[in-house]
Structure 1
């Protein structure tokens, strides 16, 4: 098993005194750190005295990054609030690179069991007597997520009607929706990130789409769920879906 067949980790956990990193490319860690380091101070300013409680009770977020957002791979993983042994607050993240040909939008449903297992490993990392060796052992035992290759032709013309051949039995129009969503997103964003969560006591379950990574203002909403106040467009009312 190669290193890229196994998810890597980065962030702070209670058993260690500093940021820990294992099995992640430097370009991914650099991009991630720059995003978090820009976003957390803004969230602290936005939330004021509510910052710490909001951060600590914020939900786990699953994410998928399309190819081109960080290098040429698709990335998928989970992020959760955490703290190290010295009381420094910083999210803990588990992530895995996938081939650039992976269809990012299919991971929403087709990698559900993998995301569930990854979330459980992330939660177990909060044990104060846990070790990196234990986390890495669990990650090595985790099968790769189920993925689908993006077979859409390049140069899809948005002003023409679209016909989709259903090639997998039983034939279900829903088969084509991940590919259609990916192509629609590519028309709008050079690269994009997808986020979804079952929510927390403060944040309702949500699914997010962002060009590149969410801005620092938008990041605050991942902690607090105040989408309308932080620049997120919310065109779909919950009771309308």
Structure 2
């Protein structure tokens, strides 16, 4: 059981008129807020967007992410990220995530989270598309099954080294389990695909940057509903 019993979230929803936040530590919200604000401002400046809107931003895909506990906030973050806007049309992302303390972490949590990521992405997309209020979104999140708890009987020092290949993995990017290290500095991002997007992956080293923001919210060919051809994974380091 996590010290954080339910997913938290931050950002804007079309059903509300201002920033919204639920169940996330202030320091973590500050980190995401700075990144969002800097990215939005840079995108508007670069694109010369009229009235503070970017036609590319709102077409960006739904992303899964996992973030280590070494980037200023001592928690592991697993969740989804999506472009959104508030009631009057001001563009801003929204993110939702499950947090884990380092002492709660085991790689099986990620290995067993494939169905959870998919359902979380669908729930977030519905909240944006159907203009949920904050309370409606919270109720939808509360109705989701949690990430499965690793069975202590499955775990051993030997399997921690050689891996848990006998445990089913439903992640649409199975390799991310072996790439991720909660004590290192790389975060990993991959398209959720519940929105019909092509499959893209990305790794980023260190704190979030405007370059990362552009890669996620203005990536070449990674558009929702884009089925024109096969697109290789965008697994780059930035």
TM class, shorter-length: 0.7 to 0.9
User: Aligned partners of 1:39 and 1:3: how far apart in 2?
Assistant: 31
Contact 1:105 1:181 in 2 (8 A): no
Q: How many residues align?
A: 211
In structure 1, the partner of 2:214 is 220
Q: Structure 1 residue aligned with 2:64, among 62, 65, 76? A: 62
Structure 1 residues 128 and 57: alpha-carbon distance in aligned structure 2, compared to 1, 3 A threshold: same
Residue 99 of structure 1 and its aligned partner are, at CA, apart by 2.8
User: Aligned partners of 1:165 and 1:104: how far apart in 2?
Assistant: 12
For the pair shown, the structure with the greater C-alpha radius of gyration is: 1
User: Aligned partners of 2:77 and 2:142: how far apart in 1?
Assistant: 17
What secondary structure, in the 3-state scheme, does the structure 2 residue paired with 1:14 have? coil
Residue 122 of structure 1 and its aligned partner are, at CA, apart by 0.8
Residue 29 of structure 1 and its aligned partner are, at CA, apart by 0.5
Contact 2:200 2:232 in 1 (8 A): no
Moved more, 17-26 or 207-216: 207-216
Root mean square deviation of aligned Cα = 3.8
2:190 equivalent to 1:196? yes
What secondary structure, in the 3-state scheme, does the structure 2 residue paired with 1:78 have? strand
User: Aligned partners of 1:213 and 1:72: how far apart in 2?
Assistant: 13
Where do 1:87-166 residues align within 5 Å?
87-101=89-103, 102-103=105-106, 107=110, 109-127=111-129, 130-146=132-148, 164-165=161-162
In structure 2, the partner of 1:207 is 201
User: Aligned partners of 1:22 and 1:124: how far apart in 2?
Assistant: 18
Residue 142 of structure 1 and its aligned partner are, at CA, apart by 2.3
Contact 1:42 1:216 in 2 (8 A): yes
Q: Which structure dedicates a bigger proportion of its chain to helix?
A: 1
